Amino acid sequence: MKYSDFLRLGYQPRRSDLICIFRIEPTKGFSIKEAASRVASESSNGTWSVLNPPAHIAKLSAKVYKISGDYVWVAYPVELFEPGNMSQILSSIAGNVFGMKAVDGLRLEEVRWPKKIVKSFPGPRFGVGGIRKILKVKKRPIACTVPKPKVGYYSSEHAKVAFDAWTGGVDLVKDDENLTNQSFNKFENRVRLCMKMREKAEKITGERKACLLNITSDVFTMKKRAKIISDYGNEFAMVDILTAGWGAVPCVREFCGDLKLAIHGHRAFHAAFDRNPHHGMTMDILVEIARLQGVDSLHVGALGKLEGSEETVRENFEKAEFSHIKGKKLILEQDFYRKKPVMAACSGGLHPGIIGRLFDLLGYDMIIQLGGGIHGHPDGTHCGAVALRQAIDAHMSGIGLKEYSKGKMELTRALERWGNKTPK
C-alpha cells in the first residue's frame, strides 16, 4: 500500500460511498495528484511508508477519482466509518489531513453523506414545524432577541429586559453564546425569573413566549441544566454546538429529546475554520452535521456585522431546510432522507432597516435575532422589539418600510437611527 494506490482517476463512486470535495493547494514540490493521493491516504487508511497489509484492507482505501484545477473529488467506502459517530467520521475526513506538509492549503468544500450514514443519525426532533407549533406562529419569521450587553446583567435585570422585549413583540429571548452560569447571573435564577416574566408577558400580549437558555458546558452539567429548564416549563435549550463538541451534541439531543426540549444551536467558533477560503471546512457542512445530529434551529449567517456572503447564507439555509439538494458545480446531490428541516437563525449586526434582504434571500421560514438592533433603539428595548415586529409586518405585507413606518414611532425612530446601513 503506497500513496499512488489512492489515485484512481475515472473510478465511478458507488451510491454507498461517502464523497468529499477538497480544495487542495499543494506545497511547492508536490503535484496536485501527489497532494491529493496523500490527503486520500491520510483520511482513510494509509500512511507515509509503503506497507504490505492483508489484501482485504485495501477495500477501505479512499479513491481520488476526479481532479479539476485545485478541486479534488474523493470517494470513501462507507465501511470506513462508524454509523452514527460524527466524531469518528470527522477524525477521518477532517482530521490529520489539515496538517499535512504536502498541502499549503486544504479546504473541505462539500460532503455527500450516503443513506446509511444519514439514517444512522436522529435528525431534529422538532424542526421548523415543531418550533412553530410550540410558539403558535404560523406564517412569519420568529422574532428573537438577545439581551445586550451580552453578559453582565444580574438575573433579575436579565428577566426584566426579557419582559420588555416579549411585551414589545419578540417571541424568543436567547441567552448570548457566552452567558451560562456566571456568578452575577446564575442559570437557575435566570430560568426561574424569566419564566415568571414570561407568564406575565404572555398574559399581556396573548402570544406564546419562550427562552433559548444556554446550557453549554460538559455533558453532565448540560443534562442537569436541561432538567432545570424542563422543570420550569420552558420548551427550548440552547447549545454552543462547536465549543461543546461533536460528541456532546448527540447526548444533548438524547436528553433534550426525553425532556421534549427543542435545541437551538449557536455556532460560535465556526469562523476559526470556515472563514479562510484556503483552509478549513465550509459552514454548510457544519449545517448538515448539526441537522444530522438533531439540532432544531441553527445560526446560518445574516449579511450583518459578521463575515458571510449572500451565496454562503443561502447555501447554509438550503442545507438546513431543504429535503433534497440538487447537484451542481461544487455541490453534490444530497437526499436528507426525511430528516426534519432545521430552522435557520439569522443574526449579527441586524436592525429593522436591513432585515428586508433576509426575506428576499430566504423567505420567511427563519428566526430573525436582533441584539443591538433592539436594545440600542433610541427609546429602549420595548420600542426596539415593537420596531422589529413592525418591520417584519411590513415585509410580510409587501409594504416598503418608509411607507409602513408612517404613524409608527418605534419603526420611524429605528430607521432614523440606523437607516439601511449595515454595521461593520
Provide the annotated active-site residues: 148, 266
How many beta carbons lie within 10 A of that of residue 181, not counting itself?
16
- What's the rounded Cα separation, in Å, for the pair 12 and 29? 29
Closest separation in Å from C-beta 148 to ligand CAP: 5
Cell 438592533 appears where? Answer: 373
**Residue 299 contacts which entry, ligand CAP, Mg ion, none (Cβ below 5-8 A, type-dependent):** ligand CAP
Stretch that binds ligand CAP, among 109-117, 144-152, 192-200, 209-217 (CB under 6 A): 144-152
Query: Rule CB under 6 A: is residue 148 a binding residue for ligand CAP?
Result: yes
Q: Select the span of 133-141, 142-150, 234-242, 394-402 touching ligand CAP (CB under 6 A).
A: 142-150
Q: Using CB under 6 A, pick the residue from 77, 147, 301, 341 that binds ligand CAP.
A: 301
CA distance 51 to 39: 17
Interface residue with ligand CAP among 170, 226, 244, 350 (CB under 6 A) is: 350
Closest CB to ligand CAP among 267 and 340? 267
Which positions from 175 through 214 interact with ligand CAP, judged by CB under 6 A? 176-177
Per CB under 6 A, the list member of 18, 146, 342, 401 interacting with ligand CAP is 146
* Site for ligand CAP contains 348 (CB under 6 A): yes
Q: Which stretch binds ligand CAP (CB under 6 A): 8-16, 71-79, 368-376, 404-412?
A: 368-376
Considering the rule CB under 5 A, would residue 177 count as an interface residue with Mg ion? yes
Q: How far is the CB of 310 from ligand CAP (least distance, A)?
A: 14
Which of the choices Mg ion, ligand CAP, none does residue 395 contact, using the CB cut-off of 5 to 8 A by kind?
none
Give 18 or 215: the residue with its C-beta nearer to ligand CAP.
215
CA distance 359 to 337: 27
Nearest residue to Mg ion on Cβ basis: 176
Q: Give me the least distance between CB of 146 and ligand CAP, in Å please.
A: 4
* Segment interacting with ligand CAP, rule: CB under 6 A, options 51-59, 253-261, 324-332, 347-355: 347-355
As measured in angstroms, the least distance from the Cβ of 162 to Mg ion is 15
Q: How many residues bind Mg ion (CB under 5 A)?
A: 2
CB-based contact 337:292 (threshold 8 Å): no
Segment interacting with Mg ion, rule: CB under 5 A, options 152-160, 174-182, 240-248, 315-323: 174-182
Contact residues for Mg ion, defined by CB under 5 A? 176-177
Contact residues for ligand CAP, defined by CB under 6 A? 146, 148, 150, 176-177, 267, 299, 301-302, 305-306, 347-350, 370-373
